[in-house]
Amino acid sequence: MSTSSTTDAPPVIHRLRKPVIDRLLTVWGVLVLVFLFAPIIVIVIYSFNTGRLLSSFEAFGLDSFAALFSKHVLSDAVMVSLRTGFIAALLATLLGTLAGIALARRPGRWAAWFMGLLILVSVTPEIVDAISLLPWLVFLGQDLGLSMFNDGTVRLVIGHSLFSVAVVSYIVRARLVGLPANLEEASADLYASPLRTFRRVTLPLAMPAVLAGLLLSFTFSLDNTIVSSFVQVSGSTPWPVYVLSALRGGLRPEIAAVSTVMLLITLAALAVVALVLRRAGDSSAQIARTMAGG
Amino acid sequence: MRRLRLPGLALALPAWVWLAVFFIAPVAVVFWYSFGYKPGLFGTHATDRLSFDRYLEVLTPTFFDTFVATMNIALTGTALCFLIGAPMAYWMAVKAPPSWRGLLLALVLVPFWTNFLVRTIGWQVILSPEGWLSQAAQTLGLPAFDILYTRGAVLLGVVYNYLPLMILPLYVAFDRVGEPLREASRDLGAGRFRTLWRVTLPLARPGIVVGVLLVYIPLMGDYITATVLGGAKGNMVGQLVAAQFQTAQNWALGSAMAITLIVIIVLSAAAVGAALWLVSWPLRRSYRVRLDSGVTQ
């Protein structure tokens, strides 16, 4: 079947009755996009509110951004989030990459069980992770006396890593499954040791997925609210938990300002992910699948 | 000659151990605590006497009513997400010019990646009686907004928050069907609706199931949306569970609630899956094309 003959003919025929429904679909699509962006745009606009309360706009100004630097609770919360995100992303990427490579290249009977576990981890509602981690960390830290589990950063990193490990494993596995293993076989035939093959062939092949997983894990961690609000200890409050607690006492424009800043950081990380995947030759549907967490 | 190979299990072992210690063990402990009780005012849990009493406590009218309300919101919300998301995904994958697709996907991903809580607060600002939308309505002679802290606001919030989770798998599913198959269907004389009904939808079915479950499962456990937009009226099961751990300090009862919630989610997700399977029965009867049988490859 030649593609030119099929692309030439139909559009002419379909133009005749296409417009009504297709135009409605386009209108629908644009409306949905407006709906999706409405609250985000509102938050960005209201971050320039100089009033005392977030929801009543008084005048346009940068006061709330200045408050990010003058209010230490707020800047501390952002720093806690960035530090946790960095550590959690590295950890999840390390564990997830190894697991993903194993799933793609050395699947055994264990692989089905392991995939089952990963799916279970990723579909478990966050509230369940949160309420089960809290007693467990208290048990490890206080009943068993392992004092590292009383540390705020350790607790947050553990809580944030679970979902990310699953996501990184999926992404790395999906990438390697799509690439035949013959390069690795060639490397082994040329007497490279397994470790050398791993380092020089497998890992570079998986690299775009590893980088994407790293950045995705970082943004997952920045966004994590529910688990964080359970496992955090005072003194290491990440920014979404700070926002959650501010909710009870009336929201101020600084909340919108810190949200805008975090949004920019997240978008920058995601733009890099998309760029990495695009350069690795993924289609936009593949990128969507990867960025939606597998 | 046997090559020295690292067994797969060894590579995956760190992740295994990590998830076993920080996912399986904690859930197992919660399961165990759910049979315990709260000893006195300052204890959170005790397990020297085990019983099903906490589960009986869970089944009191308060929890049951909240559970029914949660289920109600979750089912309505999932249905609305599908009704809004399916035409959107179809438009993105099929009707929109191919050169727009990357941009459209990026636009859907931005809200997905914006913090959940922040997006919900955005709606609180929009819906608040002092907000600009309400004031605009008032200058037009309409009454001030009275939506915030109602069930409608919670529904709006959850539909908004989970819509991208519906659109993305549906987009992938519609995109997977591909233009050549639809063209073939039209070349064979099928009209637009026949093509949609007999080719596109049957092939997109797995994506539809994934989208519905991706929305429904987290929606059942969500309570942030309800806290921000529903106030006291928007009670969801997640809120009750969280309160047992964060304020009431009754871990035994909270654990029993959480286990009940997990069981309910698993059962109802299975029921939703079965319902979808039944609904798609007429679709399956017209299932003629299989992507894996070499039709497109």
Instruction: Report the pLDDT value the prediction gives residue B294, as an integer from 0 to 100.
Output: 43
pLDDT digits (tens, 9 = 90+) for A41-93: 999 999 998 888 887 777 888 888 888 888 888 889 999 999 999 999 999 99
- Cβ of B18 within 8 Å of Cβ of A240? The answer is no
- Closest residue by Cα to residue B236 from B62, B51, B7, B10: B62
Question: Considering the domain boundaries, does residue A140 fall inside one?
Answer: yes
Residue A9 clears pLDDT 70, i.e. is over it: no
The answer on A137 and A13 residing in a single domain is no
ipTM of this predicted structure = 0.84
The crossing angle, in degrees rounded to 10, of helices B8-19 and A152-177 is: 150
Note whether A197 and A184 are within 8 A (CB).
yes
Which tops the pLDDT comparison, A30 or A22?
A30
The answer on A98 and A10 residing in a single domain is no
The answer on A78 and A39 residing in a single domain is no
Domain extent, residue A17, equals: 3-46
Percentage of residues in chain A having pLDDT higher than 90: 36
The answer on A150 and A27 residing in a single domain is no
Residue A221 clears pLDDT 80, i.e. is over it: yes
Domain containing residue A182: CATH number:
1.10.3720.10
pLDDT digits (tens, 9 = 90+) for A262-292: 999 988 888 888 888 888 777 776 777 777 6
Give the best residue of A30, A132, A228 to mutate against chain B (max B CB count within 10 A). A132
Per-residue exposure over B42-71, b if at least 16 CB sit within 10 Å of its own CB, e if not = eebbeeeeeeeebeeebeeeebeebbebbb
- Cβ of B258 within 8 Å of Cβ of A43? The answer is no
CA distance B246 to B240: 10
- What amino acid occupies position B39? P
The answer on A242 and A185 residing in a single domain is yes
Instruction: Report the pLDDT value the prediction gives residue B75, as an integer from 0 to 100.
Output: 92
Number of domains in chain A: 2
**A111: which chain B residues are within 8 Å (Cβ-Cβ)?**
8
- What amino acid occupies position A62? L
Q: What angle do CA B282, B284, B289 make, to 5 degrees?
A: 135
Question: Considering the domain boundaries, does residue A63 fall inside one?
Answer: no
CA distances from A13 to A16, A25, B103, B191, B195 (A): 6, 19, 29, 12, 15
A-B C-beta contacts closer than 8 Å? 276
Domains and CATH numbers, chain B: 65-235 (1.10.3720.10)
- Closest residue by Cα to residue B121 from A46, A126, A51, A30: A46
- Closest residue by Cα to residue A289 from B64, B146, B174, B56: B174
Pair of tokens at residue A215: 């950045």
Question: Considering the domain boundaries, does residue A60 fall inside one?
Answer: no
Instruction: Report the pLDDT value the prediction gives residue B1, as an integer from 0 to 100.
Output: 37
Question: Considering the domain boundaries, does residue A257 fall inside one?
Answer: yes
The crossing angle, in degrees rounded to 10, of helices A72-105 and A239-246 is: 130
The answer on A128 and A22 residing in a single domain is no
The answer on A78 and A37 residing in a single domain is no
**Residues of chain B predicted below pLDDT 70:** 1-8, 232-234, 280, 282-297
Instruction: Report the pLDDT value the prediction gives residue A2, as an integer from 0 to 100.
Output: 42
Distance of CA A76 to the CA centre of its chain: 22
Which tops the pLDDT comparison, A200 or A158?
A158
For residue B42, give the 3-state DSSP assignment: coil
pLDDT digits (tens, 9 = 90+) for A184-217: 888 888 888 888 888 888 888 888 889 889 988 9
**B25: which chain A residues are within 8 Å (Cβ-Cβ)?**
136
The answer on A111 and A18 residing in a single domain is no
Instruction: Report the pLDDT value the prediction gives residue B240, as an integer from 0 to 100.
Output: 86
- Over residues A170-178, the mean pLDDT reads 87
Q: What angle do CA B116, B122, B126 make, to 5 degrees?
A: 150
- Cβ of A43 within 8 Å of Cβ of B121? The answer is yes
